[in-house]
């Protein structure tokens, strides 16, 4: 079970139609690989965020498979071209079934 | 006086090295050291000790006692008392260093004199500046030195550190501790993050629903993987680090309202530790040996690039790859002391070797370290090789690392003050 999970997103509040904007996302997560031992020598169970799905008004922007090699607190930065106002939604899928979400609207003029 | 090999050699050396000095009408070479921290105290002590009375050493330091910045986070965490990290200049005076408690306010490089706030003028043959850091004005909008009681920096150890500890102890249940971390380069690269660990250690026991927010202008920081692993392990969910990518560098504070604005998000905080951008201590600027915020030095002996009779040690110097730390300043001071003695009394000058280690405590007995050795090149002090603690180390190794840091602390303070 992941503890202390926090999501963070950054994208502009406004943009011009056709602009390419930069989106940054991060989730605070230990991303335990399942291959490490704790200080008593017992294997630490795998616990990772295995999927990041970003949509814009329901349409997929990026859909990422994450593997155990991804480091702690996965950070993604990507660009998107915006043609109209709408809402970017983000969903991080945890091994334990939890889905962490965040959303931010952008106003396009 | 009996004539023997030793006295003939000593007399010969004095004749070779001293004519310019003798022409000024005094017998001994004079070294003035400004700043009694890890750089200045070490340099003063080594020059006095190893010149056997051949060099008159004056140390100018405004404080009567010295609280070390290193280990001051352990005081915040409750692992040390302020008394444990506070040292007297008495042993240095007893060892022959002329300790003057005053502020140096002027340097006349042509006349080779230092002016003190009390009115005295000190002549020197070699001047060693080890003034530590001052803050860059305006680097955190809304904060200046008049706000340091509401939002302490606690980056010069002593009353500021005591104040910060009192504020942490007085935080309301579930309150917010905020830190504005400094941009590179600054004193003690892992220091802000060790501080957060120590505050978290106190809050976990006394105020477990409290939160810690760090606004950081940097995209990453010293020992980041080690701290993040330790924070997740010891203080899950308590610490929120906002780096450059999420606007951690776009901050302003309102000390009257006790608010912190991080990239447009206004946060009410109970304690706000503002660590501004840093520059060389002011006397380096007054002496005219700085370029930008720091004082460039030659890597072979820490002499200023602006004046061969001035040396700059520790945090104030711009030397290359070494981090700004007490260990670095102490290491640089020994190279400088050797070079100053060679220049003034003709003693042997050995090739410069530098070393540094920075230990940090994450929780009780969970110590980590990073360190390296260095050598001078034509351009800078260059890193040769280094080491760093790894994530997932055993509790035994972490405990041993912490114990090593305690041994280092008693070693370096003994080396600085001759205790």
**CATH classification at residue A61:** 2.60.40.10
Backbone angles phi and psi of B173, in degrees to 5: -60, 130
Q: Do A8 and B392 touch (CB under 8 A)?
A: no
Contact B294, B316 (CB under 8 A): yes
b/e sequence B49-85, b meaning 16+ C-beta within 10 Å: eebeebbbbbbbbeeeebbbbbbbbbbbbebbeeeeb
Residue of A nearest to B366 (CA): A39
Residues facing residue B21 across a β-bridge? none
Q: Is the pLDDT of residue B327 over 90?
A: yes
* The predicted structure's pLDDT at residue B227: 97
Contact B58, B98 (CB under 8 A): yes
Domains of chain B, each with CATH number or no CATH: 5-134+279-349 (3.50.50.60), 144-276 (3.50.50.60)
Residue of B nearest to A43 (CA): B392
- ipTM score assigned to the predicted complex: 0.74
Q: Is the pLDDT of residue B1 over 50?
A: no
CA distance B297 to chain A (A): 39
**Partner A contacted by B228 (CB < 8 A):** yes
**Partner A contacted by B229 (CB < 8 A):** yes
Residue of A nearest to B229 (CA): A30
**DSSP result, B49-76:** HHHTTSEEEEEE-S-SEEE-STTHHHHH
**Partner A contacted by B397 (CB < 8 A):** no
CA distance A41 to chain B (A): 9
* The predicted structure's pLDDT at residue A1: 55
Domain membership flag for residue A35? yes
Residue of B nearest to A73 (CA): B228
Residue range B86-140, pLDDT digits in tens: 999 999 999 999 999 999 999 999 999 999 999 999 999 999 999 999 999 999 9
Sorted by sequence, the CB contacts under 8 Å of residue A4 that are 6+ apart come out as A28, B232, B236, B237, B238
Task: Give how many domains chain A has, as a whole number.
Answer: 1
Give the residue-averaged pLDDT of B57-74: 97
CA dist., res. B235 & res. A58, Å (int)? 37
Q: Is the pLDDT of residue A4 over 80?
A: no
Contact B75, B199 (CB under 8 A): no
Backbone angles phi and psi of B20, in degrees to 5: -65, -35
Give the residue-averaged pLDDT of B201-207: 97
pLDDT band for B4, please (50, 70, 90 cuts): low
Partners of A24 on chain B (C-beta within 8 Å) are 245-246
Q: Is the pLDDT of residue B236 over 80?
A: yes
Q: Which of A10, A72, A77 sits opposite B228 (nearest CB)?
A: A72
Residue range B240-288, pLDDT digits in tens: 999 999 999 999 999 999 999 999 989 999 999 999 999 999 999 999 9
The helix (run of H) or strand (run of E) holding residue B228 is helix B224-234
* The predicted structure's pLDDT at residue B315: 98
Sorted by sequence, the CB contacts under 8 Å of residue A58 that are 6+ apart come out as none
* The predicted structure's pLDDT at residue A41: 86
**DSSP result, B351-393:** PP-EEEEEEEEEETTEEEEEEEEEEE-SSSEEEEEEEE--TT-
Alpha helices in B244-386 (DSSP H): 282-286, 326-345
CA distance B367 to chain A (A): 14
Q: Do B232 and A24 touch (CB under 8 A)?
A: no
Q: Which of B228, B236, B263 sits opposite A3 (nearest CB)?
A: B236
Beta pairing, strands A20-28 & B55-60: unpaired
The helix (run of H) or strand (run of E) holding residue B159 is helix B159-169
* The predicted structure's pLDDT at residue A71: 86
- Torsion angle of alpha carbons B253, B255, B257, B260, nearest 10°? 20
Range with lowest mean pLDDT among B20-29, B125-134, B234-243, B362-371: B20-29
**Partner A contacted by B247 (CB < 8 A):** yes
Contact B187, B134 (CB under 8 A): no
CA distance A4 to chain B (A): 3
**Domain encompassing residue A30:** 6-108
* The predicted structure's pLDDT at residue B340: 98
Q: At which residue do the structure tokens 């042993």 appear?
A: B91
pLDDT band for B6, please (50, 70, 90 cuts): low
Q: Is the pLDDT of residue B26 over 60?
A: no
- Decide: residue B209, CB within 10 A, 0-12 exposed, 13-18 middle, 19+ buried: exposed
Q: Is the pLDDT of residue B207 over 80?
A: yes
CA dist., res. B415 & res. B334, Å (int)? 10
The alpha carbon of B234 is separated from its chain's Cα centroid by a whole number of angstroms, namely: 28
Residue range B95-109, pLDDT digits in tens: 999 999 999 999 999
Q: Is the pLDDT of residue B5 over 80?
A: no
Partners of A47 on chain B (C-beta within 8 Å) are none
CA angle B167–B225–B202, rounded 5-degree value:
25
Q: Is the pLDDT of residue B8 over 50?
A: no
Domain membership flag for residue A1? no
Q: Which of B232, B245, B395 sits opposite A24 (nearest CB)?
A: B245
Separation in Å, CA B213 to CA B79, B132, B226, B242, B243: 23, 27, 18, 7, 11
Q: At which residue do the structure tokens 């940054």 appear?
A: A24
Residue range B130-180, pLDDT digits in tens: 999 999 999 999 999 999 999 999 999 999 999 999 999 999 999 999 999
Q: Do B246 and A8 touch (CB under 8 A)?
A: yes
Question: What pTM was computed for the model?
Answer: 0.89
**Partner A contacted by B238 (CB < 8 A):** yes
Q: Do B392 and A36 touch (CB under 8 A)?
A: yes
Give the residue-averaged pLDDT of B207-218: 97
């Amino acid at each position: 079970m992941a503890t202390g999970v926090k999501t963070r997103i950054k994208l502009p509040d406004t943009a011009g139609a056709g602009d390419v904007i930069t989106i940054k996302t991060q989730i605070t997560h230990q991303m335990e690989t399942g291959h490490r031992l704790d200080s008593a020598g017992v294997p630490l169970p795998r616990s990772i965020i295995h999927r990041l799905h970003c949509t814009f008004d329901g349409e997929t922007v990026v859909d990422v498979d994450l593997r155990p090699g991804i480091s702690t607190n996965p950070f993604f930065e990507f660009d998107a071209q915006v043609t109209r106002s709408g809402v970017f939604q983000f969903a991080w899928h945890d091994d334990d079934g939890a889905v962490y979400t965040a959303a931010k609207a952008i106003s396009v003029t | 006086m009996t004539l023997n090999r030793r006295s003939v050699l000593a007399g010969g050396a004095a004749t070779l090295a001293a004519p310019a000095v003798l022409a000024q009408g005094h017998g001994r070479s004079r070294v003035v050291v400004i700043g009694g921290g890890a750089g200045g105290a070490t340099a003063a002590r080594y020059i006095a000790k190893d010149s056997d009375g051949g060099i008159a050493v004056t140390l100018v330091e405004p404080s009567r006692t010295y609280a070390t910045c290193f280990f001051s986070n352990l005081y915040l965490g409750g692992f040390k008392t302020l008394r444990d990290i506070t040292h007297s200049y008495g042993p240095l005076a007893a060892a022959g260093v002329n300790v003057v408690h005053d502020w140096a306010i002027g340097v006349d490089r042509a006349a080779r004199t230092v002016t003190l706030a009390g009115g005295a003028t000190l002549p020197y043959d070699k001047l060693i500046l080890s003034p530590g850091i001052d803050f860059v004005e305006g680097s955190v909008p809304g904060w200046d030195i008049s706000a340091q009681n509401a939002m302490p920096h606690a980056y010069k150890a002593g009353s500021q550190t005591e104040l910060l500890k009192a504020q942490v102890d007085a935080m309301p249940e579930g309150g917010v501790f905020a830190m504005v971390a400094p941009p590179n380069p600054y004193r003690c690269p892992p220091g802000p993050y060790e501080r957060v660990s120590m505050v978290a250690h106190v809050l976990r026991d006394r105020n477990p629903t409290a939160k810690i927010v760090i606004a950081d202008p940097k995209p990453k920081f010293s020992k980041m993987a080690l701290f993040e692993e330790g924070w997740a392990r010891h203080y899950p969910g308590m610490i929120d680090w906002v780096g450059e990518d999420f606007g951690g560098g776009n901050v302003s504070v309102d000390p009257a309202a006790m608010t912190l604005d991080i990239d447009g998000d206004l946060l009410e905080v109970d304690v706000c530790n503002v660590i501004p951008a840093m520059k060389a201590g002011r006397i380096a600027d007054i002496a005219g040996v700085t370029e930008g915020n720091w004082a460039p030095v030659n890597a072979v002996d820490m002499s200023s690039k602006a004046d061969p009779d001035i040396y700059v040690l520790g945090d104030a110097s711009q030397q290359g790859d070494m981090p700004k730390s007490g260990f670095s300043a102490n290491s640089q001071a020994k190279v400088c002391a050797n070079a100053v003695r060679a220049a003034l009394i003709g003693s042997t000058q050995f090739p410069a070797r530098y070393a540094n280690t920075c230990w940090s405590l994450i929780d009780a007995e969970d110590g980590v370290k990073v360190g390296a050795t260095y050598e001078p090149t034509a351009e800078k002090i260059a890193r040769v090789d280094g080491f760093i603690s790894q994530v997932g180390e055993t509790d035994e190794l972490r405990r041993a690392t912490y114990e090593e840091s305690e041994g280092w602390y008693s070693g370096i303070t003994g080396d600085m003050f001759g205790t």
